[in-house]
Amino acid sequence: MSHYNDPFRGEFDSLEEFADRVSDVLRCPVTIEDANHRLIAYSAHDDHTDPARTATIISRRVPEKVINSLWKQGAIPALLKSREPVRVPPIEGVGLGSRVAVSIWKNDEVIGFIWVLETNRTLSPEEMEWLKLAAKAAKNKVLQLYMRKNKKEERVQELFWKLLTSHIATEDEIRAHLAAVQITAAPQFAVVVFRFAADLTTEMERQISYLLQTTQQLPLLLYTTDRRNVILLAAPKTDQPLKELNEFIESFSAKMKERFHIHDVQSGFGGVYESYRLIEKSYREALAVLALKEKFGNEIKTVYGYAQLGIYQFFDFLLEKKRQGEWANPALAKLHIYDKKHHSDLVKTFETFFDHNENVQETADALNIHPNTLAYRLKRIADIAELDLNDMNQKIKLYIDIKLAKYEAHS
Amino acid sequence: MSHYNDPFRGEFDSLEEFADRVSDVLRCPVTIEDANHRLIAYSAHDDHTDPARTATIISRRVPEKVINSLWKQGAIPALLKSREPVRVPPIEGVGLGSRVAVSIWKNDEVIGFIWVLETNRTLSPEEMEWLKLAAKAAKNKVLQLYMRKNKKEERVQELFWKLLTSHIATEDEIRAHLAAVQITAAPQFAVVVFRFAADLTTEMERQISYLLQTTQQLPLLLYTTDRRNVILLAAPKTDQPLKELNEFIESFSAKMKERFHIHDVQSGFGGVYESYRLIEKSYREALAVLALKEKFGNEIKTVYGYAQLGIYQFFDFLLEKKRQGEWANPALAKLHIYDKKHHSDLVKTFETFFDHNENVQETADALNIHPNTLAYRLKRIADIAELDLNDMNQKIKLYIDIKLAKYEAHS
DNA sequence: ACAGTTTTTGTGGATTTTCACAAATTAACT
DNA sequence: AGTTAATTTGTGAAAATCCACAAAAACTGT
């Protein structure tokens, strides 16, 4: 054959044509993905394929569980590290047959992958070398796409910032803008913010972007970054949006940790709304969650949503009032005095009791005391603070005042 | 004897001398009280007496339980109605021996009483007539006292208003003023306000004044009225001031009802403070309780103290925020929508559950449903509102929002 | 140091609560 | 009218709570 030296030299009209050429040379089905595992092109002449490939082509992206297993199995980390082709043995659970992959590089950045399915044959070492050549040849084509997308990204980000700052007034205008950048309107959405320990580096941005692009738990309409923050417009699909968002955040944090060893990510999301004019509100609420997390690290560690902040939502207001002097809780004052005088822990006890949903057993465990001791202390609290433990009202007030005092101390 | 016609004609230097004279004539111990059962004078030459009289002389007023039993037994109502002497048979429980009493009148108002103890003898009908003459003779002397006291009352009331409106700036000044009108400073106090259905009549004022004067549960430092309101400065003695104040109010209301058939009295008291400069604050708080009672009749029917208002304390403030638009509870909104669509009662259920201190049994009874039904509904609420029932925070927030919506509706 | 008080822990049994599951009832929709 | 889904009620067993009482431990003040 005439292409022993470089079978992929020459011009190709499209990446599809290129994919077909690679497929012809290697006599296997081929798919080309961008750095975020979005399908760019695939060879068309193949009869044999596997479920993973089919699903990828149908949805125009690699299914998340396939990506996950490729991470676990080590293929993706290897591809990101080296320009050498990598062979992936079959993975049963996710419908993945044996395949070989190589990454496409631009300078020292991976901008895509070529996958070759080893249907009823195995690539020879020589063919592996050809695959490397294919990756080099693909570079320019993929890069064009990448650039085009980047330009669009910029326009989209600009739009997002306008929404986050309420710079577009009417619902209709917003819809028009979204349509213009090919973002389909969603029935409900919320703004999610991830905050990192330090300003984001380009490297981190790439990793984050990668994670987000490959997430399919939750449709993400818009994305931007700002110093330490990553800001998203997420569109939950079900009627349990909070659950979706929580799971998304948990899984995002987990993946940041296990794949990129980035631990200290704080997360928050605002209210789930249906009108696009409330994007700014949702954004402010997401920021409020993050602000509160800095003050109340422990109490709301597992809370990400503004809606789940509960009473903390209005602590800013209350603190303001308190600072104006129009606030006092003689009952709490009495308890504090008692605690000081007798080196006891009545306030802490009450607080913990409520933190644990008034559950006696749990609270006793948390405080390392006997359940009877807890009962005794509560009775003592009722006496000293003249608090009726059967009156939820009064209990709530005391609880709020305890937390508010903490909040004040941190401010 | 020379005094067959009127043994009490002539001048007496003091009421003590007069009491001795009556005692001589009737050969019995005699005590003279003002309209509020405060001791004015008593005969000194007697050997025989009973525990009630002793207690009266020691504390310079008739013990409250004695007054109570005299009301129950009917003697006091009779004395207030007629100028005729009344015989009171012995009342064992309160140490009261047999005695005869007559009221002292000025125009058509009772300004005092003369009590004659029938120690080892019984007054004859003729002696009863003499007693009537004694009552007439006592009138002027008692009246002088009464007038003197009224003038003082006016000065005191003026001072009270100054305190209620924070017109005296420093603690020291206040103490000086109080000392000037012979009111001993108390370590703690609170302002109590009773509010009647209509403006107070002179008649009612007298009755109220009477009740308050005869109360010994709680020292009352100052007293004044204002249209529908009776305002008091009460000084609880124990370290359970709220309990004292509550009991005082309950007993006052009960007595207004049973003795004068005045039913619709609303009551409130402010915070218990130690600094006199906070009288105004306590007063404002007492008024706040009354204002809230008008809006939240049912929920806080048995609450009188500002401290026991719990979360309602800051509802004004929250409502303000809510009206500014910075407030929403999507969870509650969802529940309302669901209720409307399915003719259910989830919101009411949750509210009642918290009103009953999260007690399943009580709540089920209150709603007339099976406890399991309640459990089912709560689970439903958790699903629909995406509420974590183990998170006190979120529950509290929902509860507050439910009550706040009610509050808003009433405003 | 010691008498008195307050606090903590232990014990056992009556009472409630919780939970899962099933049956019965009611509401909703075609 | 009939079918499905949602709600309510019933049952029983395991778990938790409540309560009263008592012993032990810790703390207080002189």
Residue B3 has pLDDT above 60, yes or no: no
Q: How confident is the model at residue B136 (pLDDT cuts 50, 70, 90)?
A: very high
What value, to the nearest 5°, has the Cα angle with vertex B374 and ends B371 and B376? 115
Please name the residue of chain B whose CA is at the shortest distance from the CA of residue A312: B393
Please name the residue of chain A whose CA is at the shortest distance from the CA of residue B284: A326
Distance, CA of A310 to CA of A243 (rounded, Å): 16
Residue A19 has pLDDT above 70, yes or no: yes
Answer yes or no: is B120 CB < 7 A from strand C: no
Q: Could you give the percent of chain B with pLDDT greater than 70?
A: 99
Strand pairing report for B190-195 and B99-106: unpaired
Kindly list the structural domains of chain A, giving each domain's residue range(s) and its CATH number in brackets, ordered by start. Answer: 15-146 (3.30.450.40), 165-309 (3.30.70), 328-410 (1.10.10.2840)
Q: Could you give the percent of chain A with pLDDT greater than 70?
A: 99
Q: Cβ of A209: how many Cβ atoms within 10 Å?
A: 16
Using a 7 Å cut-off to protein CB atoms, list the covered nucleotides of chain C.
6-11, 16-21, 27-28
Question: Which chain B residues have any C-beta within 8 angstroms of a chain A C-beta?
Answer: 240-243, 271-272, 307-314, 317-318, 321, 327-328, 330-331, 354-355, 357-358, 383, 386, 388, 390-397, 399-400
For residue B309, the chain A residues in CB contact (below 8 A) are 393, 397
B318: nearest CB among A241, A314, A358: A314
Q: Which of A96-100, B44-48, B131-135, B370-374 has the lowest mean pLDDT?
A: B44-48
Question: Within 13 Å, how many C-alpha atoms sit on residue A151's CB side?
Answer: 5
Tell me the mean pLDDT in the region B276-300: 91
Are residues A113 and A142 in contact, defined by beta-carbon separation less than 8 angstroms? no
For residue A296, the chain B residues in CB contact (below 8 A) are none
What pLDDT does residue A4 have?
Answer: 56
Residue B4 has pLDDT above 60, yes or no: no
Helix (H, G, I), strand (E, B) or coil at B115: strand
What pLDDT does residue B64 have?
Answer: 82
Tell me the mean pLDDT in the region A213-242: 90
pLDDT tens digits, one per residue of B254-269: 999 988 899 889 999 9
Q: Which residues, including other chains, have CB under 8 Å from residue B222's CB and lie 6 or more apart?
A: B156, B157, B159, B160, B163, B183, B232, B233
Are residues A248 and A218 in contact, defined by beta-carbon separation less than 8 angstroms? yes
Residue B211's H or E segment, with its range, is helix B202-214
How would you write chain A as a 3-class SS string? CCCCCCCCCCCCCCHHHHHHHHHHHHCCCEEEEECCCEEEEECCCCCCCCHHHHHHHHHCECCHHHHHHHHHHCHHHHHHHCCCCEEECCEHHHCECCEEEEEEEECCEEEEEEEEECCCCCCCHHHHHHHHHHHHHHHHHHHHHHHHHHHHHHHHHHHHHHHHCCCCCCHHHHHHHHHHCCCCCCCCEEEEEEECCCCCCHHHHHHHHHHHHHCCCCCEEEEEEECCEEEEEECCCCCCHHHHHHHHHHHHHHHHHHHHCCCCCEEEECCCECCHHHHHHHHHHHHHHHHHHHHCCCCCCCCCEHHHHHHHHHHHHHHHHHHCCCCCCHHHHHHHHHHHHHCCCHHHHHHHHHHCCCCHHHHHHHHCCCHHHHHHHHHHHHHHCCCCCCCHHHHHHHHHHHHHHHHHHHC
pLDDT tens digits, one per residue of A43-57: 887 678 888 998 888
B307: nearest CB among A317, A321, A330: A330
Q: CA of B361 vs C1' of C16, distance in Å? A: 9
Answer yes or no: is B55 CB < 7 A from strand C: no
For residue A355, the chain B residues in CB contact (below 8 A) are 392
Nearest Cα of chain B lies from the Cα of A397 at a distance, in angstroms, of 5
pLDDT tens digits, one per residue of B141-194: 888 887 777 777 777 888 898 898 888 888 888 888 888 888 888 889 999 999
Nearest Cα of chain A lies from the Cα of B355 at a distance, in angstroms, of 7
Q: How buried is A19 (Cβ within 10 angstroms: 0-12 exposed, 13-18 middle, 19+ buried)?
A: buried
- Please report where in the chains the tokens 């020691």 appear, as a residue: B58
Give exposure, A24-41, as e/b (b: 16+ Cβ within 10 Å).
ebbebbbbbbbbbbbbbb
Interface with chain B: mutation pick from A269, A392, A407, highest number of B CBs within 10 Å: A392
What pLDDT does residue A2 have?
Answer: 43
Q: How confident is the model at residue A304 (pLDDT cuts 50, 70, 90)?
A: very high
Interface with chain B: mutation pick from A240, A277, A393, A402, highest number of B CBs within 10 Å: A393
For residue B388, the chain A residues in CB contact (below 8 A) are 308
Answer yes or no: is A361 CB < 7 A from strand D: yes
pLDDT tens digits, one per residue of B193-202: 999 999 888 8
Tell me the mean pLDDT in the region B335-363: 94
Q: CA of B338 vs C1' of C27, distance in Å? A: 14
Q: List, edge to edge, every strand of the sheet that includes A266-269.
A: A220-226, A229-234, A190-195, A266-269
